[in-house]
């Protein structure tokens, strides 16, 4: 439908219509005109609207505006609830737009206030409900009038409290149920001002004036009044919550008084309060379970390709013994080691071997937490605690309750925030940000760092008291270069995983591949080894791995070369120990028994001198 118009005077109808209307030129992005109803709705005067761009009235909604106007021009009529105009005072309006094109390519827009429409629907429903209620209580009025006139026995047998008042508010009758609930006898109340006796004070203790009483209003306005948020007062001065209905009594059209039916809803209120508390607890538990579930899903997605610690070296054996020793306790563990040495894997092994394994292991990368969100991330926050806190949030400490909290890169926590962490670790309790309630927490703490925390303490970058709190049971993760005998086993494990992920036949790791990998120093440790293996699997040709490694020195010529291992089985412990002993013996022979120094056996083998000394003792080798 196209509306004919040839000029900008849209006539008296446009001016006088109660519906807000705009005329829009979509090609010029301009509001041509607005009727007075539209100006009132949008809060602008008409002259301002007439020079305003349509996009300025809908900031940030240019695509939606284009779609809407093009749809109206194409279809002949179009409507949308997606456009949200900005009121003159800055607030957003919820409107429904209906557009019809004019003959000159402009659009006539009719604006409908969605909030006003919703209020009209609610008012209509309320009116319908009230009409139904009035009809029902008019029926009850006739029943009670018949009871009063013809059958007092039924009135006395009613379980609800019932009493009547005349047009002056004086009590005319009261049934036994009302006597029991109020503690008054009928003789004490009949002929008395009922409001002044049992309805004189509001639930909050404020005075309740007669003229505000809905009971008395029934015989003044002739309407039924239902109330469920007030109290009646007993003879002993105590109050109880009531639900009552005051129905006017008429005789030949004249209002004579009202009959009041009430019941004690104390038990219902208590049940509702218990239900609210239970629902709040359910919501809290649901939120916690949802967060735990989301966290566990995140952990499952996290690339962790092995379930255990792989290796047969003395260093790995020592680490496993320490894990077994400390896992059965709740002692705090500080795992140290270079980046990529598997500190998180050690933390998981401790958790899985502990009594807390049925509860989650919650990991926090302290280096990734922004300073301003540290408290919220660790301890949670309540709704409205700060800008952007749109709902309550459970922190990592609360998520780890009953389980293990793993603080990775703990050395990265800013110094001014370390005191807050120390207090929670000491007191085992905390408060959410913006909340005064103290929450107790039962956690087992495992921390990890690739920094030398002693040196950090000496330099004043780490609190000494926090260091002692964390360093209850220190556990060092050995770098890969100190346990070359584990490299082939770890590489084989990564190779299987890479072949499965890449959906390729598993390439063969030859003895030559293993020796080449063992000669490299692996500054990135296990993480670098994993990347190299996956890259080699991608580049493999005909099942032959192609390693992208820096050139290394040729292998050490040993006096007693280790036996060549069969390629169809992994090396046994005897094989490994024999090769290890032979390499150490050869290095000692080449260096004249020297262990330390740049020309010593330790440097030749790429080991720490203390590590070499430990292995010499294990193999019963002497310097000579």
Mean predicted confidence (pLDDT) in 318-332? 89
Place domain 303-478 in its CATH homologous superfamily: P-loop containing nucleotide triphosphate hydrolases (3.40.50.300)
How far is Cα 498 from Cα 504, in angstroms, rounded to an integer?
Answer: 8
Task: State whether residue 536 is helix, strand or coil.
Answer: helix
**CB proximity list for 208: less than 8 A, separation 6 or greater:** 195, 199, 200, 201, 202
Mean predicted confidence (pLDDT) in 365-376? 85
| Strand spans (E) along 7-106 | 21-25, 30-34, 78-80, 95-101
For 589-605, write each residue's pLDDT tens digit.
767 777 887 667 777 77
Radius of gyration, alpha carbons of the chain: 41
The two structure tokens encoding residue 219 = 């015989």
- Can 11-117 and 151-264 be said to share one CATH topology? yes
**Is 132's pLDDT higher than 60?**
yes
Do residues 20 and 46 make contact, with C-beta atoms less than 8 angstroms apart?
no
Q: What is the pLDDT of residue 566?
A: 44
Do residues 179 and 234 make contact, with C-beta atoms less than 8 angstroms apart?
no
| Angle, vertex CA 376, rays to CA 372 and CA 379, nearest 5 | 135
What is the DSSP annotation of 22-59? EEEETTTTEEEEE-HHHHHHHT--HHHHHTS-HHHHST
Q: How many helices (H) and strands (E) does the chain have?
A: 25, 19
Do residues 118 and 91 make contact, with C-beta atoms less than 8 angstroms apart?
no
Do residues 256 and 249 make contact, with C-beta atoms less than 8 angstroms apart?
yes
Q: What are phi and psi of 41, to 5 degrees?
A: -65, -40
Report which of residues 141 and 361 the model is more confident about: 361
Query: Lowest-pLDDT range, 297-306, 438-447, 505-514, 587-596?
Result: 297-306
For 267-301, write each residue's pLDDT tens digit.
888 888 888 888 877 877 777 776 666 555 555 44
Q: What is the pLDDT of residue 151?
A: 53
> Which residue in 209, 480, 158 sits closest to 338, CA to CA?
480
For 4-40, write each residue's pLDDT tens digit.
444 456 777 788 888 899 999 988 889 999 999 889 9
CATH of domain 11-117: 3.30.450.20
Q: Which fold has domain 151-264?
A: Beta-Lactamase (3.30.450)
For 540-564, write each residue's pLDDT tens digit.
877 788 887 765 444 443 333 443 4
Q: What is the pLDDT of residue 335?
A: 94
Question: What class does CATH assign to 479-554?
Answer: mainly alpha
How far is Cα 89 from Cα 43, in angstroms, rounded to an integer?
Answer: 7
> What are the domain boundaries of the chain?
11-117, 151-264, 303-478, 479-554, 556-624
How far is Cα 23 from Cα 171, in angstroms, rounded to an integer?
Answer: 65
Task: State whether residue 166 is helix, strand or coil.
Answer: strand
């Amino acid at each position: 439908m196209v509306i004919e118009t040839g000029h900008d005077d849209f006539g008296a109808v446009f001016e006088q219509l109660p519906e807000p209307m705009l005329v829009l030129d979509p090609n010029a992005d301009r509001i041509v005109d607005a009727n007075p109803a539209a100006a009132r709705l949008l809060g602008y005067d008409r002259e301002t609207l007439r020079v305003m761009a349509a996009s300025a009235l809908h900031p940030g909604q240019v695509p939606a505006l284009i779609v809407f106007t093009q749809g109206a021009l194409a279809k002949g009529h179009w409507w949308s609830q997606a456009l949200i105009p900005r009121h003159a005072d800055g607030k957003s309006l919820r409107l429904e737009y209906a557009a019809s094109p004019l003959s000159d390519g402009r659009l006539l827009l009719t604006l409908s206030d969605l909030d006003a429409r919703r209020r009209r629907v609610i008012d209509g429903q309320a009116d319908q409900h009230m009409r139904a209620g009035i009809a029902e209580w008019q029926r009850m009025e006739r029943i009670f009038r018949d009871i009063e006139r013809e059958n007092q026995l039924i009135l006395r047998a009613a379980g609800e409290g019932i009493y009547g008042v005349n047009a002056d508010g004086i009590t005319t009758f009261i049934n036994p149920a009302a006597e029991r609930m109020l503690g008054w006898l009928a003789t004490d109340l009949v002929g008395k001002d009922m409001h002044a006796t049992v309805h004189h004070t509001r639930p909050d203790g404020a005075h309740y004036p007669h003229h505000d009483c809905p009971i008395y209003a029934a015989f003044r306005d002739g309407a039924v009044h239902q109330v469920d948020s007030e109290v009646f007062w007993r003879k002993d001065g105590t109050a109880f919550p009531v639900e009552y209905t005051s129905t006017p009594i008429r005789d030949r059209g004249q209002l004579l008084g009202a009959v009041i039916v009430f019941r004690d809803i104390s038990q219902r209120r208590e049940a509702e309060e218990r239900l609210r508390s239970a629902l709040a607890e359910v919501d809290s538990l649901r939120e916690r379970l949802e967060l735990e579930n989301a966290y566990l899903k995140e952990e499952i997605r996290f690339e962790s390709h092995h379930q255990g610690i792989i290796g047969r070296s003395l260093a790995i054996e020592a680490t496993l013994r320490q894990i077994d020793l400390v896992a059965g306790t709740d002692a705090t563990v500080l795992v140290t080691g270079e980046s990529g040495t598997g500190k998180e894997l050690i933390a998981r092994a401790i958790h899985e071997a502990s009594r807390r394994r049925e509860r989650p292991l919650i990991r926090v990368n302290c280096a990734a937490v922004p300073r301003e969100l540290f408290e919220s991330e660790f301890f949670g926050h309540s709704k409205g605690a700060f800008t952007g806190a749109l709902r309550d949030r459970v922190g990592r400490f609360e998520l780890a309750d009953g389980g293990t909290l793993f603080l990775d890169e703990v050395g990265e926590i800013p110094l001014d925030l370390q005191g807050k962490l120390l207090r929670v670790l000491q007191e085992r309790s905390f408060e959410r940000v913006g909340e005064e309630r103290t929450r107790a927490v039962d956690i087992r703490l495992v921390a990890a760092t690739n920094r030398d925390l002693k040196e950090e303490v000496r330099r004043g970058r780490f609190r000494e008291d926090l260091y002692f709190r964390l360093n209850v049971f220190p556990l060092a993760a050995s770098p890969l270069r100190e346990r070359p005998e584990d490299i082939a086993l770890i590489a084989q494990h990564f190779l299987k995983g890479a072949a499965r992920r890449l959906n390729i036949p598993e390439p063969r790791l030859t003895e030559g591949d293993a020796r080449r990998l063992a000669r490299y120093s692996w500054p990135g440790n296990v993480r670098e080894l994993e990347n190299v293996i996956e890259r080699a699997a991608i580049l493999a040709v005909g099942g032959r791995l192609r390693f992208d490694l820096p050139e290394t020195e040729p292998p050490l010529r040993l006096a007693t070369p280790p036996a060549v291992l069969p390629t169809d089985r992994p090396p046994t412990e005897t094989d490994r120990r024999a090769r290890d002993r032979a390499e150490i013996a050869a290095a000692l022979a080449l260096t004249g028994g020297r262990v330390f120094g740049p020309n010593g056996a330790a440097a030749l083998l790429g080991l720490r001198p203390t590590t070499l000394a430990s292995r010499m003792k294990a193999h019963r080798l002497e310097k000579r």
